[in-house]
Amino acid sequence: MFAVTATQTDPDNPLAGLTLGEHPEPKAPDGWTTVTVRAAALNHHDLWTLKGVGIRQDRLPIVLGCDAAGVDEDGNEVIVHSVIGTGPDETLDPKRSLLSELHDGTFAERVAVPRRNLVPKPAALSFEQAACLPTAWLTAYRMLFDKAGLQPGSTVLVQGAGGGVATALIALGRAAGYRIWATSRSADKRERALELGADQVFESGARLPERVDAVMETVGQATWDHSLKSLRPGGRIVVSGATSGAVPPADLNRVFFLQLSVVGSTMGTRDQLQRLAVFLEQTGLRPVIDRTLPLTEARDGFAAMAEGEIFGKIVFTG
């Protein structure tokens, strides 16, 4: 079958290890099944893998891709939950992994996954839309509705509008009744954030009209100081990523004096993915798709993500 694989890693030239071509068919062990992939979404995780982050060299070559929607062996339309783990919250399993870390991922014609990881795809969602949910949109759903501890009407700052998680945070937050503010260095991305549902947008690091109830943080080092200074006393930062660096100054004096909370969030559970799909079905909300490409042109999608030239999700189709 055709697949997109990581055959080597290079932190300086990640696309050097991106290989497109034939790959052996997946084998489903006991408790697993095979899904025919109709659409798969690109994430920064895939680019980090090519850089050598979070992947052991003895796992190469490995099929990339965490997200997919497709058809199972019984002909059901499904969304694939990408967290491989056990327990009521598989994200807390110390042995958890994502598809494409220990097991081949979704950038292929077919993928093997645990049966428990399949979620029914609502008929109202296209395969391309559904493929955006398991990583970026599920991460945003958990951040907003599980970790942030907010009531509708609260003010939320989303740092770095443009990426998959940030665009999902804006859209989900608006649909749930939050007042959403967003930042970006790009005037174009700020304008598109307004179109997506943000109430106000600001240049990165700009002084805000007032302090916010919570900050959704995926950028990390470049925005951390601004995130802390933007919070009201007792406010909360929810962190799910650090694309610009993971070790900013903590500013602990501000944290304890203003009684701020810093909460980590990673992915989400299968049950949360199912509720997210229902939320989109009921509200009419749909993921923002930057572009859809055939899997044979995956290199173009990776290059666009590496250059930061995206707003929303890049989706590959068979």
Residue-wise pLDDT tens digits, 199-229: 999 999 999 999 999 999 999 999 999 999 9
| One CATH from 3.40.30.10, 1.10.760.10, 3.90.180.10, 1.10.3720.10 for 2-132+287-317 | 3.90.180.10
Kindly list the distances between the CA atom of residue 11 and the CA atoms of 49, 84, 205, in Å, as whole numbers in the listed order.
9, 26, 28
Q: What is the pLDDT of residues 89-111, one digit of tens each?
A: 999 999 999 999 999 999 999 99
For residue 143, the model assigns a pLDDT of 98
pLDDT at 163: 83
| Residue 223 and residue 160 in contact, taking contact as beta carbons nearer than 8 Å | yes
pTM (2 d.p.): 0.95
> Cα–Cα distance between 170 and 55 in angstroms, integer?
31
CATH architecture designation of domain 137-264: 3-Layer(aba) Sandwich (3.40)
pLDDT of residue 164: 86
183, 229 Cβ separation under 8 angstroms: no
2-132+287-317 and 137-264 in the same fold: no
Taking the C-alpha atoms of residue 266 and residue 286, their distance in angstroms, rounded to an integer, is: 22
Ranges in the chain, pLDDT < 50: none
| SS3 category, 273 | helix
Q: Domain ranges for the chain, please list them.
A: 2-132+287-317, 137-264
Q: Which residues contact 204 (CB under 8 A, 6 or more apart)?
A: 159, 160, 183, 184, 185, 222, 223, 226
Q: What is the pLDDT of residue 243?
A: 83
Tell me the two tokens of residue 265: 């969030």
* pLDDT at res. 248: 92
Helices 44-51 and 298-307 cross at an angle (nearest 10°) of 90
